[in-house]
């Protein structure tokens, strides 16, 4: 056996083990969500359910108002993603194409905002939202999440726009496009991988966030998925079937979102490896 073949086998074995380690918690989560209460209380846990039990999903969706929490998270995460990507596209293109006065300092200032932990900004943001009468509203979360996602998105798209030749803008404007129409018609189609990456980041950030959703939201009908999952954890006992069913439901939008942007993300990874 040649050294090259042996190295290939070892690489594949390591990849298989890594995939199993990554997938194991998810598989256990799905398995637990499909077990009936009697099987969940067995002294010896089982990986494969004795029988498929879908009652946990119907119970968590209807009896715990999880459907309302799910809808709130979809609205908030989608709005955050759209606003963040739109603003970051405009700002990133401006930083990449124009020599703005103090542009480097402004970029460093934007990056510096990522150094502050979320817990440090909770009280100041709460005071701002209270003064704007936005406490206990979805808009308060959309604004907060956008402020966290935007710095990273700006840097990401700015660096991606720098890889697009400036000559394409100039050629489009020679053909009659304005700077803005050149961006929308020529540059953005080429920047789809970068836009996909920033969209994933913004969506996951808004979907998984717990601290601000728990701080800004008081009404039960405005809670998000993360707060809904926390409410399934009892003080003295927890119905693991319901909790795991809710977690599986909460994972579905992330999986679907990745399916739509997977090709563009592959281009980002492939381009970075080539670089």
Asked, for residue 128, whether it belongs to a domain, the answer is yes
Q: Are 211 and 226 in contact (CB under 8 A)?
A: no
pLDDT (mean) for 254-268: 72
pLDDT (mean) for 220-224: 91
Instruction: Specify the pTM.
Output: 0.85
- What one-character-per-residue DSSP string does 63-110 give? TT-HHHHHHHHHHHHHHHHHHHHHHHHHHHHHHHHS--TTHHHHHHHH
Asked, for residue 58, whether it belongs to a domain, the answer is no
CA–CA gap between residue 271 and residue 275 (Å, rounded): 6
Residues 201, 164 within the same domain: yes
- pLDDT tens-place string over residues 174-219: 878 788 888 888 888 888 888 888 898 899 999 989 999 999 999 9
Residues 178, 107 within the same domain: yes
Asked, for residue 114, whether it belongs to a domain, the answer is yes
Q: Is residue 238 helix, strand or coil?
A: strand
The CATH number of the domain holding residue 203 is 1.10.3720.10
Asked, for residue 26, whether it belongs to a domain, the answer is yes
- Residue 194's pLDDT is 84
Q: Is 189 exposed, middle or buried (0-12, 13-18, 19+ CB in 10 A)?
A: exposed
Q: Are 241 and 45 in contact (CB under 8 A)?
A: no
- Residue 166's pLDDT is 83
- Residue 177's pLDDT is 79
Asked, for residue 124, whether it belongs to a domain, the answer is yes
Residues 46, 73 within the same domain: no
Number of domains in the chain: 2
What's phi and psi for 233, nearest 5 deg? -90, 115
Residues 26, 128 within the same domain: no
Asked, for residue 236, whether it belongs to a domain, the answer is yes
Residues 210, 101 within the same domain: yes
Residues 103, 237 within the same domain: yes
Q: Could you give the dihedral angle defined by the CA atoms of residues 225, 229, 232 and 233, in that order, rounded to the nearest 10 degrees?
A: -150
pLDDT (mean) for 55-84: 90
Asked, for residue 46, whether it belongs to a domain, the answer is yes
CA–CA gap between residue 70 and residue 61 (Å, rounded): 9
Residues 99, 149 within the same domain: yes
Long-range Cβ pairs for the range 33-37 (8 Å, 24+): 33/57, 33/241, 33/244, 33/245, 33/247, 33/248, 35/241, 36/241, 37/239, 37/241
What is the gyration radius of the CA atoms in the chain, in angstroms? 23
CA–CA gap between residue 16 and residue 22 (Å, rounded): 10
CA–CA gap between residue 164 and residue 169 (Å, rounded): 9
Residues 175, 233 within the same domain: yes
CA–CA gap between residue 91 and residue 157 (Å, rounded): 9
Residues 114, 206 within the same domain: yes
Asked, for residue 59, whether it belongs to a domain, the answer is no
Residues 132, 234 within the same domain: yes
Q: Is residue 13 helix, strand or coil?
A: helix
Closest CA to 267 of 191, 201, 199, 164: 191
Residues 196, 268 within the same domain: yes
Residues 92, 225 within the same domain: yes
The residue segments making up the domain with residue 68 are 64-274
Closest CA to 78 of 135, 141, 154: 141
- Residue 70's pLDDT is 92
């Amino acid at each position: 056996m040649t050294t090259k073949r042996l190295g290939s086998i070892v690489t594949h074995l390591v990849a298989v083990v890594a995939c199993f380690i990554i997938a194991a918690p998810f598989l256990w989560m799905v398995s637990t969500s499909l077990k009936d209460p009697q099987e969940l209380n067995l002294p010896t846990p089982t990986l494969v359910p004795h029988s498929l039990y879908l009652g946990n999903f119907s119970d968590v969706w209807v009896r715990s108002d999880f459907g309302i929490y799910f809808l709130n998270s979809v609205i908030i995460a989608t709005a955050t993603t759209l606003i963040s990507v739109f603003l970051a596209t405009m700002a990133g293109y401006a930083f990449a194409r124009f020599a703005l006065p103090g542009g480097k300092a402004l970029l460093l200032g934007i990056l510096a905002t990522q150094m502050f932990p979320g817990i440090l900004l909770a009280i100041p943001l709460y005071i701002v939202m209270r003064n704007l009468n936005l406490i206990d509203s979805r808009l308060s979360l959309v604004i907060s999440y956008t402020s966290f996602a935007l710095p990273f998105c700006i840097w990401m798209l700015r660096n991606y726009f720098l890889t697009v030749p400036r000559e394409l803008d100039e050629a489009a404007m020679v053909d009659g496009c304005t700077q803005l129409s050149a961006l929308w018609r020529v540059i953005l189609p080429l920047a789809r991988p970068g836009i996909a990456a920033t969209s994933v980041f913004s969506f996951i950030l808004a979907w998984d966030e717990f601290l601000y959703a728990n701080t800004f939201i008081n009404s039960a009908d405005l809670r998000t998925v993360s707060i809904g999952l926390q409410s399934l954890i009892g003080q003295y006992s927890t119905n693991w079937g319901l909790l795991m069913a809710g977690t599986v439901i909460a994972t579905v939008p992330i999986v679907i979102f990745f399916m739509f942007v997977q090709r563009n993300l592959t281009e980002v990874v492939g381009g970075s490896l080539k670089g």
